[in-house]
A and B are shown apart, each in its own frame.
Chain A
Amino acid sequence: MTLHSRSSDARTSAHSRSRLRTTAVAAGVAAMLVGAAACSSGSGGSTSGGATLWGLTGTDQDNVLAPSLAAWNKANPNDLVKATYFANDAYKTKIRTAVGAGSSPTIIYSWAGGTLNSYVKAKKVVDLTSATSGVKDKFLPSVWGQGIVDGKTYAVPMNAVTPIMFYYNKDVLKKAGVEVPKTWDDILAAVPKLKKAGVAAFSLAGASKWPELMWEEYLVDRVAGPQAFNDVMAGKAGSWSNPGIIKANTMIRQLVDAGGFIDGFASVTADSNADVALLYTGKAAMMLQGAWVYGTFQQQAASFVKSGLGYTTFPAVAAGQGDPADIVGNPSGYFSVSSAASKEQQTAAIAYLTKGVFDTGYTDRILKSGQVPPIKNLDTKISAAGSDFGVTVYQLTKAAPNFQMSWDQALPPAQATALLSNLDQLFNKQITPQQFSDNMNKTIGQ
């Protein structure tokens, strides 16, 4: 990254050469390390015709992008946007190689955070501050703010708000005589009662690792407030040794030791929705998961959603410094515009991002699918959509003094990878809270 400190003249002359080399290197490493990773050639590299876009398959494609782009391209034949869709994991690997090699699509999808920072640092995305000045006021500020790096806007929200919710199975709690926990002590008291009733207190997809992070994020916030993680983000030396973080991790270990999580949670995966199934089949009473699993509940257990599914915010911790109204999760998905695209493509892309994304139809389609757009003044529309879940999520998001982006998205990739691996060892009792902090302190600055 320090290469960018050399003089701009040298950079211009070296640019095409270094780009060629980067392309070759990227292709070579991909071919060697993963064999078939480079199988589908990048369709995003062409510089003629309209703007290009890579989106995710699933809800994004079906409910959001495909209908929106069909309408947009019909109405704006001069600013065409052509989309290609990829599965989530495949996209993550592919987009990084493509952006690095300068052959990315015009519109780059990301989850903001550490990835967006690295794009900005490498000058791979264009400044959208003035182009988006007219639309930014319709978004919830906490969500819009994630697209800002060093005071300039580089990414705009394009997707629903998905905070992490505290789900519970009403019938299971009732049978065991347990109230919905409002504090950490309530949780600890509920565990033995639920165990006696023959169910696990919490479902957890430990094999996927990132659901474990949700516990860490909420507990650190409740115990120490947002500042603890802000220090980590700022790269302060030793910031993982914050007493609040060590206390939160001690609480996690306490819950693991008490048998709070379902037996064999380390073998449960989220991509197969096994954690969700544990809740609606009544094998577990409660679960911490993203707002996005509500759709899975609807698909797999529609009647359970009507009568048995409850949801609320994460309990408070006695004498904690964090506001119990704080939420964590994914503020939204974001679109940026590639600096490698032609002027014409950039114009088309910016037109779509400012006029097409979150136009009335776009917002209504997201609402109709039971999700919550990050847009202001939607109360009546959300109530009219008839989803109590949507209303709850919208209220929580609006009322939250702090909306912490998921740490694994916020941190630079090297630190995020180390975080998930160390957290996994903490949950599996391979390391202590103190060792966790020591290990993580070493990653600061990577």
Chain B
Amino acid sequence: MVAPALVFFFVFAIIPLGIALYLSFTKWDAISDPVWVGLANWPKVLSDPVTINALVLSLKVIVISWVVQTPISLLLGVFTAGRQRYRAVLAAIFFLPLILSSAAIGIAFKAILEPNFGLAASFGLPFLKQDWLGNQELILYVVIFIIAWQFVPFHTLLYQGGVRQIPVSLYEAAEIDGAGRLRQFWSITLPQLRYTIVTSSTLMVVGSLTYFDVIFVLTAGVPSSGIRILPIDMYVTGFSANQMGEASVMAMILVVMGLLLALAMTRLTGFSKMASQQEGL
């Protein structure tokens, strides 16, 4: 049963990874044959201010995205796991962005944020008339907002599932002991959600690291320096500038960073030990 999955993984993950590693030691314009240049690409890419800028931007996206998305998804998840009457309707609305494709989201936000014909002009709201996608300080936060808008529903779903797994008996016991709702949240819900938080955070961090599609659509494929995060920088280097060797170096950096982050998160949080949170129940 495991063979097809292994073959798939080998063909679509391991082999391309090996090829990218090989290409990172070559100079290749995608037309002629690759030329072996040894380690030359690595110092060149790692000392390039554009790459360093891309790394810093990527880290910013990771950290800020996590800080923004985690509390919102957690609270929404707890809320939608409840039994209130109006919950189902609100939950359905929260989940809408989840069913939209990234390309559609990119195109929609591009139109909405257009300074002369977009939202600001349509509703006559001057404070909305900002240079959202052109201001190099602003665009990063615009993108982080869109990412949050797109992915909070997914993480909310994770937390909703997590909360529903918590045994009701814990809350009943707490209520008998006189714990209020806030106390129950801090002492029962949050600790019980520990592994959900790790799962959600890992997906968020690795997802932010490799985030690409909405930015690509939003910037019409020609990203400004303010939003040229690592995956975008890799694409532009590889497929616009046709410097496949340099782009492969960036691909390897992305792979290593992704692996390290995922490993670190599971290690540091004790996720890999898979200790039970419900001992004694």
Contact across chains for B219 and A413 when beta carbons are under 8 A apart: no
Task: From A33, A34, A413, give the contact of B241 (CB < 8 A).
Answer: A413
Could you say which residues of chain A place their CB within 8 Å of the CB of B134? Answer: 206-207, 264-268, 428
Closest chain-B Cβ to A237's Cβ sits at a distance in Å of 19
List which A417-437 residues lie within 8 A (CB) of chain B.
417-418, 420-421, 424-425, 428, 430
B17 interface residue (CB < 8 Å to A)? yes
Task: From A24, A34, A207, give the contact of B133 (CB < 8 A).
Answer: A207
A332 interface residue (CB < 8 Å to B)? no
Contact across chains for A99 and B31 when beta carbons are under 8 A apart: yes
Contact across chains for A268 and B114 when beta carbons are under 8 A apart: yes
B131 interface residue (CB < 8 Å to A)? yes
CA distance A278 to B242 in the complex (A): 34
Could you say which residues of chain B place their CB within 8 Å of the CB of A96? Answer: 30-31, 239, 242
A131 interface residue (CB < 8 Å to B)? no
Which B residue's beta carbon lies closest to that of A205? B220
* Given A124-B31, A272-B114, A417-B236, A267 and B242 contact (CB-CB distance below 8 Å): no
Contact across chains for B110 and A28 when beta carbons are under 8 A apart: no
Contact across chains for B20 and A271 when beta carbons are under 8 A apart: no
Contact across chains for B16 and A29 when beta carbons are under 8 A apart: yes
Report, as a range, how many residues of chain B touch the other chain.
35 or more
Task: From B133, B224, B237, give the contact of A424 (CB < 8 A).
Answer: B224
List which A1-51 residues lie within 8 A (CB) of chain B.
1-4, 18, 22, 24-26, 28-29, 31-34
Closest chain-A Cβ to B200's Cβ sits at a distance in Å of 23
Contact across chains for A263 and B131 when beta carbons are under 8 A apart: yes
CA distance A414 to B48 in the complex (A): 14
A342 interface residue (CB < 8 Å to B)? no
Could you say which residues of chain B place their CB within 8 Å of the CB of A100? Answer: 30-32
Task: From B12, B22, B23, B132, give the contact of A31 (CB < 8 A).
Answer: B12
Stretch at the interface among B64-72, B76-84, B183-191, B243-251: B243-251
Binary flags per residue of B24-42, CB closer than 8 Å to A gives 1, else 0: 0001111111110000000
Task: From B20, B35, B132, give the contact of A3 (CB < 8 A).
Answer: B35
* Given A25-B23, A33-B238, A207-B220, A414 and B30 contact (CB-CB distance below 8 Å): no
Contact across chains for B114 and A274 when beta carbons are under 8 A apart: yes
CA distance A2 to B114 in the complex (A): 47
Could you say which residues of chain A place their CB within 8 Å of the CB of B238? Answer: 29, 33
Pick the most buried of A119, A283, A421: most chain B CB atoms within 10 A of its CB. Answer: A421
A230 interface residue (CB < 8 Å to B)? no
Which B residue's beta carbon lies closest to that of A2? B35
A122 interface residue (CB < 8 Å to B)? yes
Contact across chains for B31 and A418 when beta carbons are under 8 A apart: no
B117 interface residue (CB < 8 Å to A)? yes
* Given A29-B23, A93-B239, A413-B241, A262 and B116 contact (CB-CB distance below 8 Å): yes
Binary flags per residue of A272-290, CB closer than 8 Å to B gives 1, else 0: 1010011000010000000
A209 interface residue (CB < 8 Å to B)? yes
Task: From B19, B111, B116, give the contact of A25 (CB < 8 A).
Answer: B19
Which A residue's beta carbon lies closest to that of B113? A267
CA distance A262 to B248 in the complex (A): 39
* Given A96-B31, A266-B224, A413-B241, A277 and B132 contact (CB-CB distance below 8 Å): no
* Given A29-B19, A32-B20, A3 and B225 contact (CB-CB distance below 8 Å): no
A interface, over-half SS: helix
Could you say which residues of chain A place their CB within 8 Å of the CB of B207? Answer: none
* Given A263-B115, A266-B131, A417-B241, A208 and B220 contact (CB-CB distance below 8 Å): yes
Could you say which residues of chain B place their CB within 8 Å of the CB of A263? Answer: 115, 129, 131
Task: From A122, A264, A414, A430, give the contact of B131 (CB < 8 A).
Answer: A264
B157 interface residue (CB < 8 Å to A)? no
Closest chain-B Cβ to A329's Cβ sits at a distance in Å of 19
Could you say which residues of chain A place their CB within 8 Å of the CB of B272? Answer: none
* Given A266-B131, A267-B115, A29 and B248 contact (CB-CB distance below 8 Å): yes
Contact across chains for B224 and A274 when beta carbons are under 8 A apart: no
Contact across chains for B32 and A267 when beta carbons are under 8 A apart: no
Task: From A22, A34, A416, give the contact of B33 (CB < 8 A).
Answer: A22
A89 interface residue (CB < 8 Å to B)? yes
Could you say which residues of chain A place their CB within 8 Å of the CB of B263? Answer: none
B105 interface residue (CB < 8 Å to A)? no
Contact across chains for A1 and B35 when beta carbons are under 8 A apart: yes
List which A310-326 residues lie within 8 A (CB) of chain B.
none
Pick the most buried of B28, B136, B240: most chain A CB atoms within 10 A of its CB. Answer: B240
CA distance A384 to B28 in the complex (A): 51
Contact across chains for B19 and A24 when beta carbons are under 8 A apart: yes
Contact across chains for A264 and B129 when beta carbons are under 8 A apart: yes
CA distance A31 to B132 in the complex (A): 32
Contact across chains for A424 and B242 when beta carbons are under 8 A apart: no
Which B residue's beta carbon lies closest to that of A15? B33
Contact across chains for A33 and B19 when beta carbons are under 8 A apart: no
Could you say which residues of chain A place their CB within 8 Å of the CB of B19? Answer: 24-25, 28-29, 32
Contact across chains for A264 and B32 when beta carbons are under 8 A apart: no
Contact across chains for A32 and B251 when beta carbons are under 8 A apart: yes
A121 interface residue (CB < 8 Å to B)? yes
List which A75-102 residues lie within 8 A (CB) of chain B.
89, 93, 96-97, 99-100
Task: From B111, B129, B225, B235, give the contact of A33 (CB < 8 A).
Answer: B235
Could you say which residues of chain A place their CB within 8 Å of the CB of B113? Answer: 267
Task: From B221, B224, B242, give the contact of A428 (CB < 8 A).
Answer: B224
Contact across chains for A424 and B225 when beta carbons are under 8 A apart: yes
Could you say which residues of chain A place their CB within 8 Å of the CB of B236? Answer: 417, 421
CA distance A295 to B130 in the complex (A): 30
Task: From A2, A33, A268, give the contact of B247 (CB < 8 A).
Answer: A33
B152 interface residue (CB < 8 Å to A)? no
Contact across chains for B35 and A269 when beta carbons are under 8 A apart: no
Contact across chains for A267 and B114 when beta carbons are under 8 A apart: yes
Could you say which residues of chain A place their CB within 8 Å of the CB of B115? Answer: 263-264, 267-268
Known: A32-B20, A34-B239, A417-B237. 12 other contacts (CB 8 A): A18-B33, A24-B19, A28-B19, A29-B248, A96-B242, A121-B32, A207-B219, A264-B130, A266-B224, A267-B132, A424-B222, A424-B224
What are 14 A-B residue pairs whose CB atoms fall within 8 Å in the complex? A22-B33, A34-B239, A122-B31, A207-B133, A207-B220, A262-B116, A266-B131, A267-B132, A269-B220, A272-B110, A277-B117, A413-B240, A416-B241, A428-B224
State the B residues within 8 Å of A (CB): 12, 15-17, 19-20, 22-23, 27-35, 50, 110-111, 113-117, 129-136, 219-222, 224-225, 234-244, 247-248, 251
Which 6 residue pairs across A and B have the least CB separation, nearest first?
A266-B134, A264-B115, A32-B16, A417-B241, A267-B134, A28-B19
